[in-house]
Structure 1
């Protein structure tokens, strides 16, 4: 059967690294307060010349190099972001130009923090049709540009960055072969007011700022994420005991711990980067994945589960054999 096999990963972070102590000089907070409630210690903040597209292109170059292919071998780019460079055109087309690719399918997907999972399912579906051979799937964000830096409840939580993977359509054994085994996505638009940006071209004509009711989001996240992971594993005849690594959306250390407990999963099997990167929205899953691949934790043949939940609400999971 044809599966989308992950052949390379990459990531990129802005040069500026901001510690909690620096934020405490700007808003009424402290390193202790942030660490206790979120587990976050650092985040990267984009400089004026760093954008969603430039970070995405840097992550893409690293993934392409890891896959051992050329940029011109890519015939599909799906970029997940809630912070595009412009209202239009798609930031994916800017990445395409930065990579020197003259022609390929390129578009953006917006499902906020779940965006990378949505992009993976879209690319996987297109690869399995046989129309495309090799896809670049990117999550890239510059959330610092939509934060209210006077709101200590949100501005300390987010950072900027990008992650990317190369997926290639390959023949794969149905029972033991590598590739994406299943993806499962959900959305429930009734919860818009719990996590949103208070602006947009069609409503206010402004970019707006991020607004969040943290306690309500936490409650939904733990339930939804555990549920969709159980659902995804069941579709391929697996349980949490079969997981080698869980690569979750890096929103909050408490959410990661609570979700692992609900699944009965050892914390040793959870990839955690939230302390170093904070919440990078659609970039957080591929960023964490790249870290764990490059440090050797994730090896060929491992069963890896990716999961995320974001504004909308949207949420989803993917099970793959690396």
Structure 2
């Protein structure tokens, strides 16, 4: 028998403020057609004043717990992927732990920018496979609206805020691709490319900083690396693209999503797409898309899913799991 990390609940949270593309026309030399044609984004959500990453993460976690029919007392660990924590320290995960009333177990953050949720899911899988935890909340949450340069039309129109969460539970499987749960993971990074996507602030500058991105260069790396990591993860799981029911990619840009699907020889009809409604929510985008895809009736129990992401670092990776 093989111990698998099985998804037993999911949920998401989006701030109430919806920002349509037209809002940017008031302050930038841009318009709805320009934004849609280059990114596929039509709208995004921005956190309210005083609304924090940990609060959104806790809201998504509560919905995942409710979906699973579990109580916070059943959870052993929280792994939170974010690049926009409330404070430098303590971790946003421990704030979520307190907000949920969890007095047992442990909680920690993962920082791999847009690849954060893939990294968090891989780490949570390791905790379960090694027997260190039976149930793990895996959350992606971001308030990227707080690190935007509102004069840079190439970046500020792309990002949004939100949170998504999965509850994983240790269950025994047969050790075959037919098992439910995480079947394989693949993680990668290459620090030589850090200047392609970064925030120009931090402890060294004494400022929060703002996001900087060389969009064309990121795009060039994204399609190639996302397809490669997805293929590696599928090979490790013992499955092929023909076996995949759904690709749930990081929702950064519709052209990257389409280009990666083409490289994987998968039709867009088998890709969950939410970028038009959420924009790029960084580490929150995959769990948001999983939760929305399940709500839409696209993702069903037993479906085989590959999910992949790339972000600053550069860091990238993929996970194959059976829902």
Q: So what's the TM-score if we normalise by structure 1?
A: 0.99
C-alpha distance in structure 1 between counterparts of 2:60 and 2:105, whole Å: 18
C-alpha distance in structure 2 between counterparts of 1:130 and 1:223, whole Å: 35
Pairs within 5 Å for 1:122-133: 122-133=123-134
Give RMSD over aligned pairs.
0.7
Offset at residue 219 of structure 1 (A): 0.4
C-alpha distance in structure 2 between counterparts of 1:26 and 1:151, whole Å: 10
Counterpart residue number, 1:120: 121
Say yes or no: does 1:251 pair with 2:252: yes
Say yes or no: does 1:242 pair with 2:243: yes
C-alpha distance in structure 1 between counterparts of 2:73 and 2:237, whole Å: 34
Say yes or no: does 1:195 pair with 2:197: yes
Which deviates further from its counterpart, 15-24 or 232-241?
232-241
C-alpha distance in structure 1 between counterparts of 2:296 and 2:103, whole Å: 34
C-alpha distance in structure 1 between counterparts of 2:247 and 2:27, whole Å: 35
Counterpart residue number, 1:111: 112
Offset at residue 131 of structure 1 (A): 2.0
> Could you give the per-residue CA deviations for residues 251-288 of structure 1, whole angstroms, max 9, x where no partner exists?
00000011111111010000000000000000000000
C-alpha distance in structure 1 between counterparts of 2:127 and 2:72, whole Å: 19
Counterpart residue number, 1:19: 20
C-alpha distance in structure 2 between counterparts of 1:171 and 1:235, whole Å: 19
C-alpha distance in structure 2 between counterparts of 1:130 and 1:263, whole Å: 34
Say yes or no: does 1:297 pair with 2:304: no
Offset at residue 144 of structure 1 (A): 0.3
C-alpha distance in structure 2 between counterparts of 1:28 and 1:52, whole Å: 30
Secondary structure of 1:308's counterpart equals: strand
Secondary structure of 2:155's counterpart equals: helix
Counterpart residue number, 1:184: 186
Counterpart residue number, 2:159: 158
Secondary structure of 2:154's counterpart equals: helix
Which deviates further from its counterpart, 98-107 or 143-152?
98-107
Counterpart residue number, 1:28: 29
Offset at residue 21 of structure 1 (A): 0.3
Say yes or no: does 1:174 pair with 2:206: no
Secondary structure of 1:154's counterpart equals: coil
Counterpart residue number, 2:73: 72
Unaligned runs of 5+ in 1: none
C-alpha distance in structure 2 between counterparts of 1:197 and 1:261, whole Å: 31
C-alpha distance in structure 2 between counterparts of 1:163 and 1:30, whole Å: 29
Counterpart residue number, 1:231: 232
Counterpart residue number, 2:42: 41
Offset at residue 293 of structure 1 (A): 1.1
> Could you give the per-residue CA deviations for residues 98-130 of structure 1, whole angstroms, max 9, x where no partner exists?
111112210000000000000011111011111
Secondary structure of 1:181's counterpart equals: strand
> Could you give the per-residue CA deviations for residues 215-244 of structure 1, whole angstroms, max 9, x where no partner exists?
000000000000011111111221111110
Secondary structure of 2:138's counterpart equals: strand
Counterpart residue number, 1:211: 212
C-alpha distance in structure 2 between counterparts of 1:135 and 1:208, whole Å: 32
C-alpha distance in structure 2 between counterparts of 1:30 and 1:131, whole Å: 51
Offset at residue 46 of structure 1 (A): 0.6
Secondary structure of 1:155's counterpart equals: coil
Offset at residue 75 of structure 1 (A): 0.9
Runs of 4 or more above 3 Å deviation: none
Counterpart residue number, 1:2: 3
